[in-house]
Amino acid sequence: MAPGVGRGPGFGVVMVKNLHGESCLGRQEYLHRLCQSTETTLRTGFGPPLCTVGAMTSPVPAHLPRPVAVVGPTGSGKSEISLALAGALDGEVVNIDSMQLYRGMDIGTAKLPVARRRGIAHHLFDVLDVTDTASVAAYRDAAVAVVDDIRDRGRTPVVVGGSMMYVQALFDAWDLPPTDPQVRARWEAELERIGVEALHDELARQDPVAAQIIERRDPRRTVRALEVIELTGKPFAASQPPKDRPTRWDALLLGLQADADWLNPRLEQRVATMVEAGLLDEVRGLVETGLRRDSTAGQAIGYAQMLDHLSGHLSFDEAVEATVTGTRRYARRQRAWFRRDPRIRWVAASGTDPAGEALRTVMETVRASRGTAQ
């Protein structure tokens, strides 16, 4: 297992780096305080260290670094920008892409290979098996502990990904109501009776906003949304916290702005590159480890279509075209979701230097916040 990559409850064994580059392993619920550094870097906001205090018994930075999140549509270049920011800000990268949580799902999720991570610690990648069910609540609890640990060690968490509900759960403390087994079972029976697309139509009738967020062929999230609506008597979106208040940790949200004319050709090329890199063979291998079409991992764009091809429902060319279509549709939903958040500071993904613009935006935010504080 690579340094900085871990498993924890619901997400198993966790490995994180301390300031000396050493690693420590632990099995604890939600990763609490796995590594304590013997040296604490103090700094204000973002950026390089201001001073260092060594050999502290209980190191507590005077000014904990503010996390930076890089969000936006798929294929817009978030991973490379997160590396640039983490390198400049003495940071560590934290995943917030629900499908990059899964081990072995590398090509189809465009997961950054370890060799390209520039020695920067990466967390919450490859923490689930394809037979596991990814949960927003479990992710939130694990990610909060990871971000707290990174900040406690005086480093900047750089959170990267585009899974919309995961982003809101982490940064807005979105607490969904607990599941009700009887209500859940009733909607699962309805799913079995009428199929996922018809059930999604029912969701669209009850809550059009939720239907725009949730993929049409995602049975688990469709059932969950209908369950929440029934339990609360309100639209699923009504359970979301408002976006007009500060984020958890006062995190800075950076969004990559990518219009369809620029992004769609990139997405087509991206899918073609995945196919050439062996996406179908990757899916075949994952089937041997338990990947199924009705599992959470089996709903991922690219994987679902290749599974449909392997089962004889689609030709290979049809599976590739369906992957392109699904990717475009997902990017469109992401753009619409993130545009509704007034706290996001936007960076042009199609610019000549998006990484430089992102770093300048971070620095401008620091200067503005210091001026306000004074």
Record the tokens describing residue 177, joined without a space.
């109501």
Instruction: For the chain, give the percent of residues with pLDDT over 70.
Output: 82
User: Was 87 annotated as part of a binding site?
Assistant: no
76-173+250-374 and 181-239 in the same fold: no
Per residue in 260-316, pLDDT tens?
999 999 999 999 999 999 999 999 999 999 999 989 999 999 999 999 999 999 999
* pLDDT beyond 90 at 214: no
Residue 147 contacts residue 67 (beta carbons within 8 Å): yes
Amino acid 371: pLDDT: 55
pLDDT at 13: 34
- 57 belongs to an annotated ligand binding site: no
Q: What is the pLDDT of residue 288?
A: 97
The DSSP call for residue 348 is E
**According to the annotation, is 295 in a ligand binding site?**
no
195 marked as binding residue: no
Q: Binding site annotation covers 74?
A: yes
Tell whether 235 is in a known binding site: no
Residue 72 in this model has a pLDDT that exceeds 50: yes
Task: Supply 251's token pair.
Answer: 């995190």
Domain limits, the chain = 76-173+250-374, 181-239
For helices 316-339 and 260-277, give the axis angle rounded to 10 degrees.
140
pLDDT at 27: 27
The pLDDT of residue 372 is 54
User: Is 79 annotated as ligand-binding?
Assistant: yes
CATH, domain range 181-239: 1.10.20.140
How far from each other are the two terminal CA atoms of the chain, in whole angstroms?
A: 46
pLDDT in the model for residue 218: 83
Phi and psi at residue 333, in whole multiples of 5°?
-65, -40
Judged against a pLDDT cut of 70, whether residue 227 lies above it is answered with yes
Confidence check: pLDDT of 47 > 50: no
Average pLDDT, the chain: 83
CATH of domain 76-173+250-374: 3.40.50.300
Decide: 46 and 68 in contact? Cβ < 8 Å. yes
Residue that is written with structure tokens 């060319």 in the block? 317
Residue 37 assigned ligand-binding role: no
- Give, in order, the Cα–Cα distances in Å from 176 to each of 50, 125, 162: 40, 24, 19
Question: Which whole number is the average pLDDT over 43-48?
Answer: 44
Q: Within its chain, how far is the Cα of 226 from the centroid?
A: 23
What's residue 90's pLDDT?
94
The residue with greater pLDDT, 368 or 361, is: 361
* pLDDT in the model for residue 45: 53
